[in-house]
Each structure stands twice: as structure tokens, then as C-alpha cells.
Amino acid sequence: MDKKVTVVGAGNVGATAAQRLAEKELCDVVLVDIIEGVPQGKALDLTEAAPIEKHDAHLTGTNSYDATEGSDIVIITAGIPRKPGMSRDDLISTNAGIVKNVVKEVSKRSPNSILIIVSNPLDVMCHVAFEASGFPKNRVLGMAGVLDSARFRAFISMELNVSVENTHAFVLGGHGDTMVPLPRYSTVAGIPITELMSQDRIEALVKRTANGGAEIVSLLKTGSAYYAPASAAVEMAESIIKDKKKILPCATYLEGEYGIRDLFIGVPVKLGSTGIEEIIEIKLTNDEQAALNKSAAAVKELVENLKNLNY
């Protein structure tokens, strides 16, 4: 394979991302984890599935970062997952230390790589990665909006009994309870959902989308979502690897766009071979802008709290 992607964290999200990357034949994959034997075992298991799945991607499992050298993309899923009763924000101090160490290790071995952050709390971990790597802002981005939009699309499809392929949705803001789904930019075969369902039903879907991760945590009881998060990260990686220039909602560092400065917030961006090639500014109503400002304020509070932690 021409491209090499490192996935840090061989838990459910990381291992599933490695599987998706390999089975789409996007790249060779290095799976890294601190637990001895786990990344090696999962990489070997995926390799043994390759003859059946018919791909020739090379998978490596390792406890060392040396094998990651020269990676084009690094997907960081490392960190402790949420348990019932925990918010994403409860993970901040532990995961900040983990992400900081991971980023320092991978960035010195792959100084030209693009970092896709999946670890929670997502928007804050992007700040940690941005500072620890010293990379330009176009090469540090967070996976959130793609996942949240996919959840919104799934709920729209279920509500209207239509193909998910016909659905499109945009979710902006921080990855958490203050995320901002935009119904008037969400469509089925080009028709705004505001024309297809009542305001009450739209509000119910918006609420379910904002609580999408918590709903799965409450059902699983001993873990958190991983199939959809892995797919979302891989969609972002695919757009970069293939230089597809897809417009996807991602956490990116804003410097005045949408009236927000010095924060990682989910907004639509164009993803190509150099990472974030353009931030797309869409016109928001006063209510939508107010909701986005509220979401940004919540992220800013966490970033300020992070500054007081010795991680």
C-alpha cells in the first residue's frame, strides 16, 4: 500500500478503525497499544481475515512507537472510555495526559502526519494534541461532527422509513450535550426535513442525537460506542488519503470564523491530502448562532479547566 496509517489504542474503536481501513484497502495499518499482546493479537486476527475479505493491506500490532515512523495519518483513540453515569468531560484529566504522551511520540516519528483525534472529551483533546505536536492547524482535527451527523441521519431514516443514502445532515459545535444539529440544512433527497416532519418530531430527533453516545453507554453498561465512531474516523481518513475533498463536519481550530476564536469547534471543512483545506462558513440564523456560541462557551470552560491541570 502507498499510504500508512497508525491507529493508537487497540480497544474497540481503534481495532474497528483498523479493520475498516484494511478492508477498504486504503493503507497499511499500524495498531499501537500499551497492553502487551493485544495489538499484536488483533492485528494477526485481522491479517488472517484478509484472505476471506480479499484485501492485501499489511497490519502490524506493536507496543512500541518505532513502527509508526513515516505515517501519513495518525488516528488517536487512546484513553479510558465512558462508563454509565460518566460524562465525556469526566475523562478530561486522565485522557489529557494519555493524549499528550501519544502525540509527542507519534509527532516526532511522523512529523508530516495528519492527526485525527477521537479520544474524549474530543474538543479539548484536540487542544492537547495541537499544543503537544506543534503542527499547523490544518493537520490537527477532531472526529465528532461526522459521527453526530451520522447518528442524526440514522434517526431521520428510521423516522421517515427511507434509505439512509438519501439522508444528509449537519451537526455543528462541541461533541457533547451542547452540539448543534441544523434541521434546515438536513435533507432527504434534497428535501429539508422541516418539510417532511413536525417540529415536535424534529426536536425529539435533535435531542436523541445530542444524547446519542450516552444512549449507547446506558445500553452497553460496560463500554461505549465504537462501530460508528470508527466508521466516522475512517471516512475522514479516506477523504484525506484519496484527496476526495469531501465537505465534512470536523472539530477544527477557529480563528474568527463563526465569530469564534482560539477554540476547536465542529464546523464544515473540506478534507483533502493536506488535511483541512478550507473552513466552510454557512449562514446561521440568530438562534443557530446563539446555540453555537453556547456550545463554544462550554468547550472554552473545559479548555480553561485543562490549563489548571498538571497533566
3-state secondary structure the chain: CCCEEEEECCCHHHHHHHHHHHHCCCCEEEEECCCCCHHHHHHHHHHHHHHHHCCCCCEEEECCCHHHCCCCEEEECCCCCCCCCCCHHHHHHHHHHHHHHHHHHHHHHCCCCEEEECCCCHHHHHHHHHHHHCCCHHHEEECCHHHHHHHHHHHHHHHHCCCHHHEECCEEECCCCCCEECHHHCEECCEEHHHCCCHHHHHHHHHHHHCHHHHHHHHHCCCCCCHHHHHHHHHHHHHHHCCCCEEEEEEEEEECHHHCEEEEEEEEEEEECCEEEEECCCCCCHHHHHHHHHHHHHHHHHHHHHHCCCC
CB 141 within 8 A of CB 116: yes
CB atoms within 10 A of CB 222: 8
Identity of residue 45: D
CB atoms within 10 A of CB 67: 18
CB 120 within 8 A of CB 82: yes
Q: Is 58 noted as a catalytic residue in this protein? A: no
CB atoms within 10 A of CB 310: 6
Out of 58, 127, 168, 175, which one is annotated catalytic?
Answer: 175
Whole-angstrom distance, CA of residue 197 vs CA of residue 194: 6
By annotation, the residues acting in catalysis are 175
